[in-house]
Amino acid sequence: MKKNILITGGAGFIGSHLVRLFVNKYPDYRIINLDKLTYAGNLTNLKDLENSPNYVFEKVDICDFSAVQTVFAKYSIDGIIHLAAESHVDRSIKDPFSFARTNILGTLSLLQAAKEAWQTFDGKLFYHVSTDEVYGSLGKEGFFTETTPYQPHSPYSASKASSDHFVRAFHDTYGLPTVISNCSNNYGPYQFPEKLIPLFINNIINNKPLPVYGKGENVRDWLYVVDHARAIDVIFHSGKIGETYNIGGFNEWKNIDLIRLMIKVTDILLGRPEGTSEKLITFVTDRAGHDLRYAIDSNKLKNELGWEPSLQFEEGIEKTVRWYLDNSEWLNSVTSGAYQEYYKNYYSKI
């Protein structure tokens, strides 16, 4: 094998798309997927790769430093793409400790293991996948650029901001070759149905309420997950060490407009009369500390590395709804057991 690449969080939503892209595109790389398999990680997301000769899976918690060291000793790792994280803002409001543990201490454990394992930093790279939420919230105008000061508001974004700082500290202090990207909201197949788009598709299918936080006026900048994976590929291979790249599709949507679009597309594909599921819209208490607007300026990535999103949003949403409808087995399996327990009280109250 030409290179051993460690991808953390490869059984999750974005990670599984990235693992698939790398395993198929780079047959001479060995891709080691390191994942704890939390509620959000699922090996069925990668069923098609099970027998690929250049793919291996290691069930490891990134917070378990000695287990991480063992993985570094077992494979001669050339590059790390670190995605493993607790990723859902609402869960971080309920349980901030687990976010600090995984996102901060887990990242530190990987940084330290890489620093110790790599005798020389030549040809090595620690790529940290982060979020635009570290920049805080925008008003009606403007964009986040790579130089926007960090101003996280949720425990999730605070933990991601802290992990970004640790990555930069390892670069500045020890010379560890690092790169960071901060991406906007992703959507697409295999996203766990707790995030807005898959949660609402699942609820429309099952005629359940669609809980819109506040007035639905918050704005998010949506990117198809495969385009995020393509951007990571470009940055991993051509990005400059020590740099940060913002990733986004210049695709802002007010939540309520996006929800109406999802309802329209899903009703059509389910063969229901147009507008049937509008009645499911339920305005609920706003998320605490809810950031008003995110919008990413990804011109640095476009101008320096030539990346651009490949998919228009309307096409992406239709593709995504179709995927959830065609993969009811996957959807039913991830929404059984603990998932039902998690949402039981919630839906009885709204």
Q: Is 26 or 39 the residue whose CB approaches ligand NAD more closely?
A: 39
Residue 285 has which token pair?
A: 């208490």
Which parts of 149-178 interact with ligand NAD (CB under 6 A)?
160
Q: How far apart are CA 78 and CA 4, in angstroms?
A: 5
**Which residues ranging from 288 to 317 are in contact with ligand NAD (CB under 6 A)?**
none
Residue 211 interface partner, choices ligand NAD, ligand DAU, none, CB cut-off 5-8 Å depending on type: ligand DAU
Q: Cα separation of 230 and 193, whole Å?
A: 23
Contact present, 200 and 281 (Cβ < 8 Å) = no
Q: Which of residues 77-116 bind ligand DAU (CB under 6 A)?
A: 87-89
Tell whether the torsion through CA atoms of 136, 101, 233 and 320 is positive or negative.
Answer: negative
Does 192 contact ligand NAD by CB under 6 A?
yes
Backbone phi, then psi, for 8, in 5-degree steps? -95, 145
In this structure, which amino acid lies at residue 63?
C
Q: Select from 4, 33, 107, 131 the one that contacts ligand DAU (CB under 6 A).
A: 131
Among 135, 190, 294, 313, binds ligand DAU (CB under 6 A): 294
Q: Which residues of 234-259 are buried (b: 16+ CB within 10 A; e: fewer)?
A: bbbeebeeeebbbbbbbbbbebbebb
How far apart, in whole angstroms, are the C-alpha atoms of residue 106 and residue 114?
12
User: Pairing relation of β-strands 3-8 and 29-35?
Assistant: parallel
Query: Which run of H or E residues covers position 108?
Result: helix 107-117
Nearer to ligand NAD, 180 or 210 (CB): 180
* Residues 6-35, interacting with ligand NAD (CB under 6 A): 9, 11-15, 35
Residue 128 engages ligand DAU in binding (rule: CB under 6 A): no
Span from 30-38, 193-201, 302-310, 311-319 in contact with ligand DAU (CB under 6 A): 193-201
The answer to the question of residue 133 lying near ligand DAU (CB under 6 A) is yes
Can you give the binding site for ligand NAD, defined by CB under 6 A? 9, 11-15, 35-38, 40-41, 61-63, 83-87, 102, 106, 129, 131, 160, 183, 185-186, 192
Binding site for ligand DAU (CB under 6 A): 87-89, 131-133, 184-185, 195-196, 199, 211-213, 218, 220, 255, 287, 294
